[in-house]
Chains A and B, each alone.
Chain A
Amino acid sequence: MDVLFNEFEDMLKQSARSTLEVESPPSLVREAEASTLGYSPDLWKKIADLGWLGLALPESAGGQGLGLSSLGIVACELGRAVAPVPFHSTMTAALTIAESGSDAQRSLILPRVVSGQSILTWALTEADPRYLTPDAVQMQAMVEGGDLVLNGTKLFVENVESAEQILVVCRTTPGKTGAAGISVVLVPTKAVGPKATPLTNIAKEKLSRVEFTNVRVPRTNVVGTEGAGWPVVEGMVNRAAALISIQMSGAARRALEYAVEYAKGREAFGRPIGAFQSIAHTLADTLIWIDGCDLIAYEALWRLERGLPAAVQVSQAKAFCSEKVVQAVRNANVVHGGIAATAELDLQLWFRRASAWATRLGTPSEHRARVAHAVLDRA
């Protein structure tokens, strides 16, 4: 039992942090938010060159074959910098292809991910946003000979304009409900041209409604087993939820640091506001929460990495991080006072982005329902 970083993990964290302090200043985030692409291609290339995109991908694809806890350390630091890169959506899809894809899919896609040439995304949620609820997936993919023909609408799809492939969750067996008949299908964006409409959001990240009208892909694009894809979805979403949890936690810790610096320098009634207990205690609580976020998120990542049962730990992490991170970045705002409501202050980048991330991949009460089932219901 050792919940702290080992020497390698410490080194990885330090190296990611110092790189991003130089390469991903707040001005870069502002530029990316104002750009058509929504991310920084330069930064994306740099992190690919540093090997971060291949950290948890197999060596056969040019990756380093390390586990999710190492990838989590990088995700935490990217969150800390609110780095404008399509890391989370790419990793969510890439890890799923690595885990459940065919050899052909892996060798076609993963080396391009490792080198930074290929951005990926995934499309699960439709109008019914309930987390990991098979019936909420209504999108159809009809079998026509050797092809699948997709029709339907997906919401909240990230980075679809820059992505090369979308991992789409759909129904390939007509008439089936629940988890039966679900498939996960790779859809190349450029080749088939699904229609994307931007969803304007508080993070100013690239988020879209994607309409699929008679989008045709070969059946060999199914990731995992056709019609039995629900376990693939669960694996994908567990990893994605654990990664977004640690990414949020990283952002919250930086927001806390901004607030601490401000509380040391800003004076009221002749002394720094951090000397007032109302401020000091607010920030102390925030530190406790963020430490808790790190611990509970790394536990989930580590268990996923080791192949241990982890669904409950993922839900614990996501429920806790979603609530505490939102409260933490709000506390950072409140300590700053009115200036935090202005676009001038860099802190707003952390507030907007971390708060948006918290809404993804299941609400706290949905995750708590899964935890409650595990602790209260006898098998």
Chain B
Amino acid sequence: MEFTFTTEEEAFRQEVRTFIAEHVTPEVIAEQGGDEESGADHPHTDAMIDKMMERGWVRMAMPKEYGGHGGDLTMQYIVDEEFNRAGVFIAHNYGTGYTTIIKYGTEQQKRDFVPGLIAGKIKLGLGYTEPSGGTDLAGLKSRAVRDGDDWIINGSKMYGGSPESTHMYMLVRTNPDVPKHKGLSVFLVPMDAPGVEFRPLKLIKDRARAYGYTGAWAGSSFYEDVRLPQSAMLGEEGQGWELATQGLAIDRIGVTRYLRCTYRTDHMIDWLRDHQLGDYVPREDPFVRDKIAELWIEREVYRLMTMRSLTMVKKNIPIVHESPSEKVWGPDHNVRAIEAIASILGPYMQLTEGEEAPRGGEFGDHFLMAWFVGLGHGSVHAMRDQIARRGLGLPRG
């Protein structure tokens, strides 16, 4: 056991903090609550991210030859944690694509995609769920059929991607004649390919909160006789289930999900330390103190679970029930947190903007979507099935 960071890691944390003190300006913070619909740009944030990239701090753990830093997962964790603490969520650091492309991609695919992903110039939508469902993922209906050297894709995907997505990381059936898990493959589909149509779906929240979950938009996408070369396939034909499950397992663990599920608790604590509502000082209320401590302890447990999976990945220990466990505990904490915050703030919780709104309305926006984080990348219910089967050896229902 070793529950603290090394001296080198702590020194690096100081370096990151110094950078943040200099570069996370009020202008950068102001850009964090942008509205994707109006296409608000983020010039100050972009300039800051360029400086981070010069230092190799974006996707640190990615290999150097593809634009990463060849660094360590712990260093990546420290960067993400410090920026999150400062109120900036580095979205470039998140998502399935990088890791699976590095692991399964051809040399050409690695060069075509990874530097662009790191720079934020390529944005992948996750093309798993379909209009007919997502939990029974292997039962998906979109199909790719060979035509000479090419593939012809037909089907539709739901919720994955946003109007900004450049490609869909798309799981389709390439062989209908084998057991359903074995007939799947992954394609990296350009959203501007002929036959692809993206229809935005407005979400119930109005603002992106750039370091929040998704933007204000999700989407459905439709594929009609979309012709793709073999080089658009990631991994081998029939390897799609492995790519999807590996990718999902990667997305279920780690710092990003932890931070996304806990920063609201942290922000509420920050707010409580310095604020009151009229003559009422919530932090002095015994109910509030008990609730906040409960949330704090839950987020500490989540931090330790995140440290556990980081440790396992670094030590090459196979992850069994640990990633679905995080994917239950984190999202469930997130929901308990926002509902507790609602019980503390009372009518102030519902505000999404304006001077009366605590933290500019962050909590109101968050309330609308907090429950949703339990669904993406596998619902908490599906996760409990996995824990029961893999972690406890219980029979399938």
- Which residues between 67 and 115 of chain B lie within 8 Å of chain A, taking CB atoms? 74
Kindly list chain B residues whose C-beta atoms are within 8 Å of the C-beta of A285: 328, 384
Q: In the complex, are the beta carbons of A264 and B304 less than 8 A apart? A: no
- How far, in whole Å, are A44 and B328 apart by their CA atoms in the complex? 41
Q: Which of B261-316 contact A (CB under 8 A)?
A: 269, 272-273, 283, 286, 289-290, 292-294, 296-297, 300-301, 304-305, 307-308, 310-312, 315
Contact at A320–B301, with CB atoms within 8 Å?
A: yes
Set of chain B residues within 8 Å of A302, measured between Cβ atoms: 1-3
* Nearest B-chain residue to A281, judged by Cβ: B384
Residues of B within 8 A of A373 (CB): 289
Known: A1-B2, A368-B290, A376-B272. A316 touches B300 (CB 8 A): yes
Q: Does A375 contact B315, Cβ atoms closer than 8 Å?
A: no
Q: Quick one: which of A271, A284, A365 contacts B290, CB cutoff 8 A?
A: A365
Taking a contact as CB atoms under 8 Å apart, the answer to whether B387 and A378 are in contact is no
In Å, the complex CA distance between A292 and B315 comes to: 20
**What's the Cα separation between A298 and B305 when bound, in Å?**
12
Return A50 CB to nearest CB of chain B, in Å.
21
Contact with B along A64-97 (1 / 0, CB 8 A): 0000010000000000000000000000000000
Binds B, one of A213-221, A236-244, A272-280: A272-280
Contact residues of A between 1 and 56, Cβ < 8 Å to B: 1-6, 9
* Interface: A291 (CB within 8 A): yes
A308 at interface (Cβ–Cβ under 8 A)?
yes
Give the distance in Å from the alpha carbon of A319 to the alpha carbon of B297 in the complex: 8
Please give the distance in Å from A317's CB to the nearest CB on chain B: 9
Nearest-Cβ distance from residue A254 to partner chain B, whole angstroms: 14
Q: How far is the CB of B81 from chain A (nearest CB, A)?
A: 12
How many Å lie between the Cα of A302 and that of B4 in the bound state?
A: 10
Answer whether residue B347 sits at the interface, using C-beta atoms and an 8 A cutoff: no
A291, B325: Cβ atoms closer than 8 Å: yes
User: Is B329 close to A, CB under 8 A?
Assistant: yes
A98 within 8 A of B: no
Select which of A275, A316, A376 is within 8 A of B396 by beta carbon.
A275
**A368-B297 in contact (CB<8A):** yes
A369 contacts the other chain (CB 8 A) = yes
User: B385, A299: Cβ atoms under 8 Å?
Assistant: no
Whole-angstrom distance from the CB of B374 to the nearest CB of chain A? Answer: 13
Contact of A291 among B3, B305, B317 (CB under 8 A): B305
> Which A-chain residue is minimally distant from B9 (CB atoms)?
A1
> Which residues of chain B are within 8 angstroms of A271 by Cβ–Cβ distance?
395
Contacts of A296 in B (CB 8 A): 297, 300-301, 304
User: Closest Cβ of chain A: how far from B137's Cβ, in Å?
Assistant: 18
> Which residues of chain A come closer than 8 Å to B297, judged between CB atoms?
296, 316, 319-320, 368, 371
Report yes or no: B392 in contact with A287, Cβ–Cβ below 8 A.
Answer: yes
A189 and B2 CA atoms in complex are apart in Å by 40
Check B321 for interface membership: any CB of A closer than 8 A: yes
B388 engages A274 (CB within 8 Å): yes
Interface pair A298/B1, CB less than 8 Å apart:
yes
Residues on B with beta carbons closer than 8 Å to the beta carbon of A299: 3, 304
A74 CB, min distance to chain B CBs, angstroms: 14
Decide if B308 touches A295 in the complex (CB within 8 Å). Answer: yes
Tell me whether B39 is interfacial, beta carbon within 8 Å: no
Please pick, from B269, B283, B305, the residue contacting A292 in the complex, using a CB distance under 8 A.
B305
| 345-397 of chain B: CB within 8 A of chain A | 381, 383-385, 387-389, 391-397
Pairwise interchain contact A4-B312, C-beta atoms closer than 8 A:
yes
Q: Does A288 contact B (CB under 8 A)?
A: yes
Q: Which of B6, B9, B289, B385 has the most CB of A within 10 A?
A: B289
The answer on a CB contact under 8 Å between A283 and B304 is no
Tell me what chain A mostly uses at the interface: helix, strand, loop, or mixed: helix
Asked if B19 is an interface residue, CB under 8 A from chain A, the answer is: no
Considering residues A298, A365, A375, which has the most beta carbons from chain B within 10 angstroms of its beta carbon? A375
Size class of the A contact interface (CB-based, 8 Å): 35 or more
The answer to whether the Cβ of B12 comes within 8 Å of any Cβ in the partner chain is no
Given contacts A285-B384, A292-B301, contact A4 B397 (CB under 8 A): no
- Taking CB atoms, residues of chain A closer than 8 Å to B322 are 291
Interfacial chain B residues near A367, Cβ < 8 Å: 293
List A contacts of B283 (CB < 8 A): 376-377
Is the CB–CB distance between A280 and B384 below 8 Å?
yes
Contacts of B328 in A (CB 8 A): 284-285, 288
**A263 contacts B by Cβ under 8 Å:** yes
Given contacts A302-B3, A368-B290, contact A4 B325 (CB under 8 A): no
CB under 8 Å from chain B, chain A span 247-269: 260, 263-264
Minimum distance in angstroms from B29 CB to a CB of chain A? 22
Q: A1-B9, A287-B325 are in contact. Are A280 and B301 (CB under 8 A)?
A: no
Question: Is the pair A264, B294 in contact by a Cβ cutoff of 8 Å?
Answer: no
Complex formed: what's the CA distance from A9 to B385 in Å? 31
| Residue contact B397 to A277, C-beta cutoff 8 Å | yes
Name the CB-closest residue of B to A287.
B391
Contacts A274-B388, A288-B328; A1 near B5 (Cβ below 8 A): yes
A-chain residues with CB within 8 Å of residue B315 when the two chains form the complex: 2, 4
Cα-based distance from A271 to B273 in the complex (angstroms):
54
Given A1-B307, A287-B392, are A280 and B397 also a contact pair (CB < 8 Å)?
Answer: yes
Does A372 sit within 8 A of B, measured CB to CB?
Answer: yes
CB within 8 Å for A284 and B391 given contacts A5-B1, A368-B294, A375-B292:
yes
With contacts A4-B311, A284-B388, A375-B292 taken as known, whether A292 is within 8 angstroms of B304 at the C-beta atoms is yes
Once the chains are docked, how many angstroms separate the CA of A298 from the CA of B311?
15
B395 x A369 contact (CB < 8 A): no
Contact A263 B394 (CB under 8 A): yes
Nearest to B74 among chain A residues (CB) is: A1
User: With contacts A292-B329, A295-B304, A308-B4 known, is A274 near B384, CB below 8 A?
Assistant: no
Q: Which chain A residues lie closer than 8 Å to B289 at the CB level?
A: 368-369, 372-373, 376
Residue of B300, B305, B381, B393 ringed by the most chain A CB atoms within 10 A: B300
Other-chain residue from B1, B304, B393 in contact with A9 (beta carbon distance below 8 A): B1
In the complex, the answer to whether B293 meets A375 with C-beta atoms within 8 Å is yes
Instruction: Check A4/B1 contact, CB under 8 A, given A284-B388, A376-B292.
Output: yes
Alpha-carbon distance between A6 and B296 when the two chains are bound, in angstroms: 28
Complex: chain B residue closest to A371, CB-CB: B293
**B→A interface (CB under 8 Å):** 1-6, 9, 74, 269, 272-273, 283, 286, 289-290, 292-294, 296-297, 300-301, 304-305, 307-308, 310-312, 315, 317, 321-322, 325, 328-329, 381, 383-385, 387-389, 391-397
A-B contact pairs, 6 of them (CB 8 A): A3-B308, A274-B392, A283-B392, A284-B383, A284-B387, A320-B297
Chain A interface residues toward B at CB < 8 A: 1-6, 9, 69, 260, 263-264, 271-272, 274-277, 279-281, 283-285, 287-288, 291-292, 295-296, 298-299, 302-303, 306, 308, 316, 319-320, 365, 367-373, 375-378
7 extra interchain contacts, Cβ-Cβ under 8 A, other than A4-B315, A299-B3?
A1-B310, A4-B311, A279-B394, A288-B329, A292-B305, A295-B301, A299-B304
